[in-house]
Structure 1
């Protein structure tokens, strides 16, 4: 694409050098530059892209977008905000793909991954081609791609949506993190539906307080726009049971569909929960229907109501929605059972906030005939304020608690455990090595107990001192059982 033509999507800039030249790609990562690419300098928390201009030029960059003048032999475009401009350029370079792909964004502290998976199954059941972008993977018509962030940068997103458009994807589901909203990674994306799950403490290492965290979440709803267009209707789907819901409702000019257990446009009656799953009558503006699902727990009801609400506003029939709910096997690392021949339950779950850990433990307590035991830690270089709260939840809702390392990153794991356990009274186990903690937890289990291994879920690595070491809770637990590290 011609650079001069590409820059017509940017209103204000200064140029140095001849810009009437072709650009073959866009990137913010100097390590990924190919000859002919446009390199955009982004200031991040850990590094500044302006430091890599020389290496970008050596790698074959055709032009540079920066926030200040630098002497160079290739064209330079100077703008006041490279993050905003990157989104504008990426959207234009890839032909504004989200205008042609129905896009559902899901935000909130918990439930985002499960809801996008449920929506993928609903629209697949509805004989529609789908795409998913989220924590575990990006999928385009069933083909999976790896991801580095819950919500990728604006260039990667537009490239994904460009591929989805080529593959004739009709509906895409996307997890939208507060970081991505605050950092402008989703600028320019044309969302059709915004879904809010809930708000509980998380990411206060990044946001200054809960009000700032909520402000970031509200941006998704504001970005639905102020315009009503027949044939391209937009909707907000909001959990009315959450105290923050009124802020999200006020943040959008678009029609709002609310959901909740006992209130909202979509709600429930006659809930029944046991170890086999949940059932309830779903009350909706377009009719009532019975739901039977193998998903466990009260929070799974919320996830299904959210997914149902988003599907309803996109015109999916209730019979299709409940058919998908009845078939779903759940999401990797979310209440995922591990069975290697033992006489007790082992469940791996991504729960890494006080709220999500409480939800999972309550669910397991409801169905467990023995003791509920939990292995839990907290990640390093993240919100330290939630560490004692995580410990309190574990002590309150589990019968036996093993505190251990999660992803310590650059922090000393012992210091993280001090933050978690320093205030506690009562009996608990503190085993820093996660493998040893899992083995000890399994060794403690008796017939009909359930062991929850919380915090990492689907992850297949452990982040330690800047390295990603191979570590999968499911594999470690399976190996421990097979080695006989349990009561038979």
Structure 2
């Protein structure tokens, strides 16, 4: 594509230098990835400002620079008010508006996003679609998996990979959309067909000023569905959540609600929950059925109701949805049982907010036959105000809590633990900074019939300390420890 044609897409700009008819081979925001005939876009990020790397980009072969600040370089500079918005617009155009050729389902909310994307992937795959998933764990295109840096990657990554998905005949894309991504414009230009809302509980208040600001960020997904009614767009919203109205008011498109209350269009009733199963009835004006699945916990019932509601908007037959949910295996690190061969149960879960931790522990309370040990910490360089609330949730539903390090990142691990426990006066908890030792402590003390919950990291295979990621998998460590415990006995 010619540089002039690409730059012509930007309505508000100031051009410094002569824009030629040179061909742009790639668009880059990382100067290290720039090669001959690249267009380099300067993004001012949290830790690095791309405007500082224009000289390196030019040396590497950039034929023009997109900037929002004054920069000195030997190639043309196109100055715009917001390089993030410009990048989204240019990437969408450069890759041929690929998201408009896909069924894109966006999922937002504090808890349940990853599980819901996996459930929808199972349903649409069972329905016969080739699917792609973008989210916390990775990006999946068909059967191939690729690493991702953020839950919702930047706009350049998204549009480039939407093109790849179109070229590989993907029909349906299910993606997690974080509040950070919405606030920062990472999904600008993405043509989303169905926006889905799970819930909103305290998290990320290190970034958002308060819960209302957090809710507003989530609502952007629904306002960005647009104002036209001829393109088949819909929203799916958990009507039982206290912030549901914020999402509804932001949305001009038809809304399908789900939940357990009578207000829900797609409603779950007659719940039966077990250690490794759940069953419930689904009623709506459109259909009624009973769902039986290997997933457990009320929170997973909500996730399945959301999946049913989204699939309904695509006219997926209810029998297809039902069969897919019966066969689903769930999500790695979400209420994942480490071992079923020994009399002590170990469950690993990604719960890292007060509400998600409480949901998991409530589900365990419904199935427990003896004591519950909870190993839990809280992430560093993140919302400090949720730490005591997580501790309270753990203390409320556990017989003994072992507070430990999660991903301290650049914070002092002991300071995080102090934030969690300084207000506690009860004695039914321990503080063990080293996570491996904390897991060992819980498993050593658990007796037949006990449940050990290891919360906070779930599927993650690393622990980040002082900015360095060290290999660490809660599931592997717990499995080795419990096998050793019973092999020695």
The CA deviation at 1:423 is 0.5
Q: Retained in 2: the 8 A contact 1:106–1:195?
A: yes
- Tell me what 2:402 maps to: 402
Q: Retained in 2: the 8 A contact 1:446–1:487?
A: no
User: Which has the higher mean CA deviation after the structures are superposed, 55-64 or 343-352?
Assistant: 55-64
Give CA deviations for 1:99-129 in whole Å, capped at 9, x if unaligned: 1100100000000000000000000110111
Q: Retained in 2: the 8 A contact 1:442–1:485?
A: no
- Tell me what 1:191 maps to: 192
TM-score between both structures, scaled by the size of structure 1: 0.98
- Tell me what 1:441 maps to: 442
- How far apart, CA to CA, are the structure 2 residues paired with 1:124 and 1:357? 30
- Tell me what 1:59 maps to: 60
Q: Retained in 2: the 8 A contact 1:380–1:416?
A: yes
Question: What residue ranges of structure 1 are gaps of 5+ in the alignment?
Answer: none
SS of 1:270's equivalent in the other structure is: strand
User: Which has the higher mean CA deviation after the structures are superposed, 235-244 or 336-345?
Assistant: 336-345
Q: Retained in 1: the 8 A contact 2:63–2:76?
A: yes
The CA deviation at 1:486 is 8.9
Give CA deviations for 1:180-210 in whole Å, capped at 9, x if unaligned: 0000000011110000000000000000111
The CA deviation at 1:367 is 0.8
- Tell me what 1:241 maps to: 240
Q: Retained in 2: the 8 A contact 1:443–1:486?
A: no
- How far apart, CA to CA, are the structure 2 residues paired with 1:150 and 1:286? 34
The CA deviation at 1:60 is 1.9
Q: Retained in 1: the 8 A contact 2:282–2:288?
A: yes
RMSD of aligned C-alpha atoms?
1.3
- How far apart, CA to CA, are the structure 2 residues paired with 1:192 and 1:134? 17
- How far apart, CA to CA, are the structure 2 residues paired with 1:405 and 1:150? 22
Give CA deviations for 1:434-454 in whole Å, capped at 9, x if unaligned: 011011111111111110100
- How far apart, CA to CA, are the structure 1 residues paired with 2:157 and 2:486? 44
Q: Retained in 2: the 8 A contact 1:443–1:487?
A: no
- Tell me what 2:102 maps to: 101
- How far apart, CA to CA, are the structure 2 residues paired with 1:443 and 1:487? 12
SS of 1:11's equivalent in the other structure is: coil
The CA deviation at 1:304 is 0.3
Give CA deviations for 1:213-234 in whole Å, capped at 9, x if unaligned: 00100000000000111xx300
SS of 1:257's equivalent in the other structure is: strand
Residue 10 (structure 1) aligned with residue 10 (structure 2): yes
User: What is the count of residue pairs matched by the alignment?
Assistant: 486
- How far apart, CA to CA, are the structure 2 residues paired with 1:307 and 1:282? 12
The CA deviation at 1:483 is 3.3
Q: CA distance change for structure 1 residues 328 and 368 in 2, over 3 Å: closer, same or farther?
A: same
- How far apart, CA to CA, are the structure 2 residues paired with 1:104 and 1:285? 23
- Tell me what 2:125 maps to: 124
The CA deviation at 1:37 is 1.5
- Tell me what 2:425 maps to: 425
Residue 386 (structure 1) aligned with residue 386 (structure 2): yes
- Tell me what 2:286 maps to: 286
- How far apart, CA to CA, are the structure 2 residues paired with 1:314 and 1:203? 32
Give CA deviations for 1:297-330 in whole Å, capped at 9, x if unaligned: 0000100011111110011110011111100010
User: Which has the higher mean CA deviation after the structures are superposed, 18-27 or 357-366?
Assistant: 18-27
- How far apart, CA to CA, are the structure 2 residues paired with 1:285 and 1:3? 53
- Tell me what 1:250 maps to: 249
TM-score between both structures, scaled by the size of structure 2: 0.97
- Tell me what 1:33 maps to: 34
The CA deviation at 1:31 is 2.4
The CA deviation at 1:29 is 1.5
The CA deviation at 1:355 is 0.2
Within a 5 Å distance, the mapping from 1:454-465 to structure 2 comes to: 454-465=455-466
The CA deviation at 1:85 is 0.4
- Tell me what 1:326 maps to: 326
User: Which has the higher mean CA deviation after the structures are superposed, 3-12 or 182-191?
Assistant: 3-12
The CA deviation at 1:62 is 2.1
Q: Retained in 2: the 8 A contact 1:445–1:487?
A: no
SS of 1:9's equivalent in the other structure is: coil
Q: Retained in 2: the 8 A contact 1:340–1:478?
A: no
Q: CA distance change for structure 1 residues 477 and 146 in 2, over 3 Å: closer, same or farther?
A: same
- How far apart, CA to CA, are the structure 2 residues paired with 1:487 and 1:240? 51
- Tell me what 1:475 maps to: 476
- How far apart, CA to CA, are the structure 1 residues paired with 2:412 and 2:365? 32
The CA deviation at 1:69 is 3.0
Q: Retained in 1: the 8 A contact 2:51–2:71?
A: no
Q: Retained in 2: the 8 A contact 1:340–1:481?
A: no
